Structure 1
Amino acid sequence: MKNRFLKIILPIMLLVTAVFIIGSGCTGDPSGDWFEDADGDGYGDNGSYNSQYDQPQGYVADNTDCDDTNASVYPGATEIPDNLIDEDCNDLHAFTFYHDEDGDGFGNSDVSEVIEIVLGEGAPENFVTNNADCNDKDPNINPIADEIYNNEIDDNCNGEIDTDDITYVDADGDGYGSQERAEKDGVYNSLDCDDTNIYIHPYSTEIKNDIDDDCDGIVDEVS
């Protein structure tokens, strides 16, 4: 019985033990699917993979990167507002919005919040993308309001009180005037850089369209 143990059973036990030790040291992915991590952030591109047991250089087991050309973009990354990039790969984009308490379309520069939204959606309720209101408790006071004389109030937020006596043509009706003075029925500002397009004015949302939507002299600066 002893001889049988030494000649048969013991070698089998040693072989099983060796196989177990060697097998446990393998680092390959049993599925054999590896995904290219071109930007080196530890997250792979779902569109490119290599099937083999051992992990190829430059490949990882993960395939959740939504932009494998940018190492700052991956699931769980810090979202940076106002840049049209979805850093954390959750299909939402972060923007800075300003509270519009009086509902006049102009926000309070002192009350802001970074909110993630689906790209192309409007501002959340009670928020706007500009911070141009000088009195967010009165809807009649904002950059496109008419200046009312002798009320000792800066109605149109231009820093001057009761001094406006010139109106400007607002051909597109967006509330923002051109540089052309109006003989009648104009607006008390000359802020519009394109008085033929209602969507272009100083407080419009800049979008990627090769147009200076917000009249700041820069095209597509949020991209």
Structure 2
Amino acid sequence: MKKHMFKTILPALLLVGAVFVIGSGCSDGFETSYFDNDGDGYGNPNVSERFTINDAPSNYVGNRSDCDDKDADINPGATEIPDNEIDENCNGLFGITFYKDYDNDGFGDPNSGAVYEINFGDPAPDGMVYNNADCNDRSDMINPLADEIVGNGIDDNCNGEIDIDDIKYIDADGDGYGSQVQSPADGVFNSLDCDDTNSAIHPYAIDFKNGIDDDCDGITDEKI
């Protein structure tokens, strides 16, 4: 009985296994290709066709890695351009220029810009900030929110004026940025706020995609 099994059943099993292995490696003569609408060599993952092998039209490619098949400048091989809210290289991140804040006052050195790829709304990298508004990043007493000290010969609040900006403005929302309304007593030494009823809206805030000009630059929904 054992001898019969080796002569009949075992060869049959080996034959079936060989057919399965060989058959699984065979192609049906077709391959899936992806529509390349913008001609950049990267295909649209949502538009595909099956063609005979090596017979796909010129506007179909073998990859499906394009994230915007309407723009040839947007694909995994593209260079990321900072500060334009476009993911050029299709990695799901956006290039944003950040600035060193050496004195830790929340305002960056305009000469220290560096580009990082991040998600919208992510915090700035360590030691960096979104803005480049500091006029002296070696002193935390000098920045756009500082009080202008008359008689010291320094532009303390970075507005381009020295020793004459002694007018205070009402800061109703307490964000450090004043309205256009002068204050005879308490207030701040700037009138930069575009919405003094909302402390989240002021110059140098992060501008989110929310339909609001968060950073008071006249532009709605850019990144910074």
TM-score, normalised by the number of residues in structure 1: 0.81
Aligned equivalents of 2:158 and 2:128: distance in 1? 19
SS of alignment partner, residue 117 of structure 2: strand
Q: Deviations over 1:163-198 (max 9, x none)?
A: 232211111111100011123320000010111122
Indicate the residue corresponding to 2:93 in structure 1.
Answer: 92
Q: State the 1:30 CA deviation.
A: 5.1
Distance 1:59 1:104, change over 3 A: same
Q: State the 1:39 CA deviation.
A: 1.4
Q: Deviations over 1:136-160 (max 9, x none)?
A: 0111110111112332222111122
Aligned equivalents of 1:42 and 1:75: distance in 2? 10
Aligned equivalents of 2:35 and 2:70: distance in 1? 11
Indicate the residue corresponding to 1:131 in structure 2.
Answer: 132
Aligned equivalents of 2:122 and 2:214: distance in 1? 17
Task: Name the count of aligned residue pairs.
Answer: 196
Give me the CA root mean square deviation.
2.1
Structure 1: which 5+ runs fail to align?
1-28
1:32 aligns with 2:31: yes
1:42 aligns with 2:41: yes
- 2:96 maps to a residue whose letter is F
- 1:64 maps to a residue whose letter is S
Aligned equivalents of 2:59 and 2:92: distance in 1? 26
1:39-188 alignment runs, 5 A limit: 39-53=38-52, 54-188=55-189
Q: State the 1:221 CA deviation.
A: 4.7
8 Å CA contact retained: 2:149, 2:166:
no
**Percentage identity across aligned positions?**
59
Aligned equivalents of 2:172 and 2:30: distance in 1? 65
Aligned equivalents of 2:30 and 2:44: distance in 1? 17
Greater Cα offset, 80-89 or 194-203? 194-203
Distance 1:33 1:68, change over 3 A: same
8 Å CA contact retained: 1:34, 1:56:
no
- 1:45 maps to a residue whose letter is N
Indicate the residue corresponding to 2:6 in structure 1.
Answer: none
Structure 2: which 5+ runs fail to align?
1-27
Distance 1:124 1:169, change over 3 A: same
